Structure 1
Amino acid sequence: MAALVAFLRRVGNDQRDARPLRRLPRPRVFRDRLNPFDMRTYEELYERYRFRRPTIIFLCGIIEDIVIHPTRRSLALPPMVQLLVFLRFVATGAFHQLIGDSIHLSKLTAGRCIRRVASALVSLANRYIIFPTDQNATNTKRKFHNIAGFPGVLGCVDGTFIRIQTPVESEPDYVNRKGYHSLNVMMSCDTNFVITNCVAKWPGSCHDSRVFRESTLCRQFENGQHDGLLLGDSGYPCKTYLMTPYNNTNDVRHKERFNSALCRTRVVIEQTYGILKRRFPCLAVGLLTKPDRACQYVVACVVLHNIGILRQDIVTISADDLLIAGPDVQEIDHANNNGFTYRDIIARQCFNQ
């Protein structure tokens, strides 16, 4: 009996000794973070972040109070590094892991930087995305008139598709007429390629005319807040404040001249899209994120685009980048006699020479 008890005790001790050891907590790793701003030359900064050194310093100054970490207890990321992470993202559209690895940050940290800086830039949209009024409106009309003689133009409006990843909710709504998932983003611009209005919230299946009809810009023109015209393609309704081309000129000389002047003037918005997507390739190749976050990134890129132009930090482009393939719209014929009548008046009075 005593031998049996001793055997059982020995087996019990062996089983306790065989239990796995308690896993020790993983030690924190403090990486030697890099500051690309101090490591790159003037041109290297532009090639990788799409802006030159003075503009990057200016951008950091306007967002640092928003993105700075209010703590001194840890190695918080400075605003400059957060900004460069975001600029690297919009300049490449790369995965967060790759962007983080380039300056010794984790994937999660890079993602937080991108979202924080994007939110800060969106909060500045009302300061940098402004539709012309008063004296600015007068100057804008004059500059548009100098292009092809079209009178009273305040801006050109058009939509563009921004590809996104397949959303989880309402997936069919985001499939556009070209067959891929996207946002349908509407913008207007002036002659300097400055974007004066941006609506980035509609899924790709929405028609351009609906995006415009539901926009604040449309309501402002309907209420008479702007004294001038918008130019659009055949995807928009012809109204007293929105001129679209004749679908059929019937070989009438003044109608053909009207169409020619409208197209030569309206091409500015197509060129603006080319410049925007050239500076920020993430908008051309697509945003691998959900729709609401993609909308934020689009508006943030527009704010950066306008700041770059206002500071004369112009992206280097070739003539091929501004070539227009031609309109890609679903033509509609809206029964709006007032708009058609006003269009005829402009065509006869201004293009009947």
Structure 2
Amino acid sequence: MATISRLRRRRRKRIFLPRVSIEDLSDEDIFSRYRFSYDTFLYIVDLIKAKISRPTNRNYSLSPLEQVLLTLRFLSTGAFFRLIGDSVGISESQVSRTVFSVCSAISSLARQFIHMPVGQEAIRIKSEFFRIAGFPNVLSCIDGTFIKIQAPHQNEADFVNRKGYHSLNVQMACDSKYRITNVVANWPGSVHDARIFRGSNICFKFENGNYDGILLGDSGYPCMTFLMTPYSHPSTPSHTKYNDALCKTRVKIEQTFGILKRKFACLSLGLRVEPIKAATITLAVLHNIGIARNDIVGLLENYEESDSNGLDSTTTDGNGNAMRDHIRITFSQ
């Protein structure tokens, strides 16, 4: 009995490994491991430290800096929480709570960092798009991309995309500098791009004249007065010239997806953070912070082909077709 009592009283010794630090890393190592420069990393910490600071009497609690480091390490590698925790001497559950807390704090900044250009900014963006291939009045390019996820417990079949794996179909728009201007992360991977767009707030706002300009999309979208798409069957040189200009301009959104997925490996390996929508918006916010602070060095050479979900859109809009014909004619003059 005495032996049993001693075993019951015996407590597992807590072993604390040295916490992760970036003070001794070179700028190249910091960017390679965490996908941001040292200055940008500190900027991110300053943005959210009030939201993630936790008053505690524990001797080994995580500071805001350490919380952001752990989260960026997960987002940049997609590694399992247990592996990340083992490397710094904390539990898998604490890593999970930390990533959830930091992602929630960053996603709350979406209105500050993700928005359509207006005013003088819109004029500048349209001018930059025009210089690419002469396509006029473009505010953003739009497309959908698959974000890999674990199989959900409910409506599992709805999340299987045309490529055969579980995902969300995330709608994004971007400007001429790869800055994300809109994110919709509510829809399963099997849903068509056109359906997502028609149910989105950005479609409603363009329909109601909130923005002065147009979007460019691929053939998975309906042609509308504010959304230009390619001709499915170009039959004249002017049709071909129009399609070429649209393609050269719209490639910005494909490059944006490429930058985003190469910067954050968790998007390719599969998001394991709940809620997934908040994690996706977090990545878009971080992407825009990186763009604004020029933290995309070496990432522009790779981009992905469109994940457009489904065949050409069969929805037609007479006014949209007329607008497209008008723009096409300007290319042939």
TM range (shorter): over 0.9
Counterpart among 99, 105, 115 of residue 120 in structure 1: 105
Alignment of 1:10-49 (within 5 A): 21=5, 23-24=8-9, 26-27=11-12, 29=14, 31-49=16-34
2:218 maps to 233
Tell me if the contact between 1:255 and 1:351 (Cα under 8 Å) persists in the aligned partners.
no
Q: Structure 2: how far apart are the matches of 1:325 and 1:172? A: 22
Tell me if the contact between 2:144 and 2:193 (Cα under 8 Å) persists in the aligned partners.
yes
Alignment of 1:1-353 (within 5 A): 21=5, 23-24=8-9, 26-27=11-12, 29=14, 31-250=16-235, 252-289=236-273, 293-317=275-299, 319=301, 321-322=302-303, 324=305, 329-348=310-329, 350-353=330-333
Following superposition, the deviation at residue 333 of structure 1 comes to 2.2
Following superposition, the deviation at residue 28 of structure 1 comes to 6.2
Label 1:142 to 1:329 Cα distance change in 2 as closer, same or farther (>3 A): farther
TM-score, normalising length from structure 2? 0.94
Label 1:43 to 1:20 Cα distance change in 2 as closer, same or farther (>3 A): same
Q: Structure 2: how far apart are the matches of 1:162 and 1:46? A: 23
Label 1:32 to 1:323 Cα distance change in 2 as closer, same or farther (>3 A): closer
Q: Structure 1: how far apart are the matches of 2:168 and 2:95? A: 24
Deviation by residue 1:77-121 (Cα, 9 ceiling, x = unmatched)? 100000000000011000001111122221111111111100000
Q: Which runs of 5+ in 2 are unaligned?
A: none
Following superposition, the deviation at residue 324 of structure 1 comes to 4.2
Label 1:210 to 1:327 Cα distance change in 2 as closer, same or farther (>3 A): closer
Equivalent position amino acid for 1:339 in 2: G
Q: Secondary structure at the match of 1:69?
A: coil
Label 1:200 to 1:328 Cα distance change in 2 as closer, same or farther (>3 A): closer
Q: Structure 2: how far apart are the matches of 1:248 and 1:19? A: 84
Q: Secondary structure at the match of 1:206?
A: coil
Label 1:87 to 1:323 Cα distance change in 2 as closer, same or farther (>3 A): closer
Q: Secondary structure at the match of 1:64?
A: helix
Following superposition, the deviation at residue 244 of structure 1 comes to 0.4
Deviation by residue 1:20-65 (Cα, 9 ceiling, x = unmatched)? 5472263562624413223423221111111111011111100100
Q: Secondary structure at the match of 2:168?
A: strand
Label 1:114 to 1:216 Cα distance change in 2 as closer, same or farther (>3 A): same
Tell me if the contact between 2:259 and 2:300 (Cα under 8 Å) persists in the aligned partners.
no
Equivalent position amino acid for 2:292 in 1: L
Label 1:107 to 1:55 Cα distance change in 2 as closer, same or farther (>3 A): same
Q: Secondary structure at the match of 2:111?
A: helix
Identity, % of aligned positions: 45
Label 1:212 to 1:328 Cα distance change in 2 as closer, same or farther (>3 A): closer
Tell me if the contact between 1:33 and 1:105 (Cα under 8 Å) persists in the aligned partners.
no
Deviation by residue 1:150-197 (Cα, 9 ceiling, x = unmatched)? 000000000000111111111111111111100000000011111111
Q: Structure 2: how far apart are the matches of 1:205 and 1:118? A: 26
Tell me if the contact between 1:36 and 1:103 (Cα under 8 Å) persists in the aligned partners.
no
Q: Which has the larger radius of gyration?
A: 1
Equivalent position amino acid for 1:282 in 2: C
Label 1:30 to 1:156 Cα distance change in 2 as closer, same or farther (>3 A): same
